[in-house]
Structure 1
Amino acid sequence: MASSELPPSQHFVHEGRRIAYRCYGSGSRVVVLTHGLLMDNRMFTKLAPTLAERGNRVITVDMFGHGASDHPPDMEAYSMPQYGEDVIALLDHLGVAQAVVGGTSLGANVALEAVILAPNRVRALVLEMPVLENALAGRAVGVGEGMDRVGRVADHERR
């Protein structure tokens, strides 16, 4: 595939929501990349092929409300746990037992949510600019509790 060509957009339905994604490469190690707010999976058009050329199967997802995924007008339809659930449902849909999950900005928070929801499904995290101004703000939105769980999972994995 030429670097300017995108793989075809595919989709699956999770809890009535149409979620779009693209697949690059066919390696045994799976990397799922989640984009930032108001972006879509095209933000990874340079990174995804590069990772695929290095033997990875890379999946870029359009989070609910972005890109080719469903865009309901009701703001109550969106939540961070739902975004994390969609990532795990994507792994289920593709028959992937475990993946490296990464993201930028909002996508980094989605990756954190995925590991909180299903720590055994996330092999590693790649986080760029998670949306946290400081620890107090993170605690206010419930991230502190989730990070405590991530820390406990990491401690357990080291044993």
Structure 2
Amino acid sequence: MRLHTRTWGAGDRVALLIHGIMADHRTWRRVGPALAARGLRVIAVDLRGHGATARGDYSARLFADDLVETLPTGAEVAVGHSLGGLALSLAVERLAPRRAVYSDPAWHLPGPEQGFGGPEALAAAKTLSREEITAMNPRWEAVDVGIELETLAVWDENTAFGLASAFGADLLPARPVVPSLVQLAEPSPMISAPDAAELARRGFEVRTVKGAGHTIHRDDFDGFIASLDGWI
């Protein structure tokens, strides 16, 4: 499936931005212009079932295949957040960016044994109110809360059920296909301390943004950018 995209900047050096579940390209409203100001042409997608992209069947593999169908190969850097990080890890060999950044990637989605209700609980986020989003993300700017409401309104919550097999599964990549940074929230709901140590053992660089929530680029934009030193 060809994905809807949003581009900032121009030129031959390309950065790719891949959002998490429930979001779309608008989650990168500050990141896109910041990378464009560094001379990059920044392309952000709306994954299938999100934003202006069509609906369809859903699975991690399909999300990855869509990235390969839509995005250019050989980008300077590719950044994937949460579900976007999972999809990127399944597409990275085919996309062949020079570097990859996985921002709190969904490689170990919590299941019922971790006290999370699985895809049903995730799909229920469709009806979150402004007050609930604000309470869950106290460090977000008001504009990001508004964008979240807008993206939830157009999000197909069935995407959550397409990821049912991922809940409780260990999806840590065996190795970094390209030089790769794993950027973690503190604490990360996706990557435990043992997972982080194992990723480092497998050859990933792991950096934690102190005090940041899962959506690091919204929770602490300056910390997010600082954490990318040497990777952007």
- Who is 2:39 aligned against? 55
Q: How does 1:3-152 map to 2 (within 5 A)?
A: 14=1, 18-72=2-56, 77-91=57-71, 96-99=72-75, 100-116=77-93, 118=94, 121-133=96-108, 141=169, 143-144=171-172, 147-148=173-174, 150-151=175-176
Higher Cα Rg: structure 1 or 2?
2
How many angstroms apart in 2 are the aligned matches of 1:153 and 1:66? 27
Per-residue CA deviation, residues 33-89 of structure 1 (Å, 9 max, x unaligned), is: 0111101100001110110111001001000000000124xxxx1111111111111
Report how many residues are paired: 124
Unaligned runs of 5+ in 2: 110-164, 180-201, 203-232
Task: Indicate the SS of the match to 1:122.
Answer: coil
The 1-side partners of 2:97 and 2:178 are apart by: 11
In structure 2, distance between residues paired with 1:105 and 1:113: 13
Q: CA deviation at 1:153?
A: 6.1
Counterpart of 1:50 in 2: which secondary structure?
A: helix
Structure-1-length-normalised TM-score? 0.67
- Mapped to 1, the partners of 2:47 and 2:73 lie a distance apart of 20
* Percent identity over paired residues: 33
Aligned AA (1:111): L
1:39–1:153: structure 2 CA closer, same or farther, 3 Å change rule?
closer
Q: Structure 1 regions of 5+ residues with no counterpart?
A: 1-13
Determine the structure 2 residue equivalent to 1:8.
none
Partners of 2:39 and 2:67 lie apart in 1 by 21
Cα distance in structure 2, aligned partners of 1:25 and 1:78: 31
Question: 1:106–1:131: 8 Å Cα contact kept in structure 2?
Answer: yes
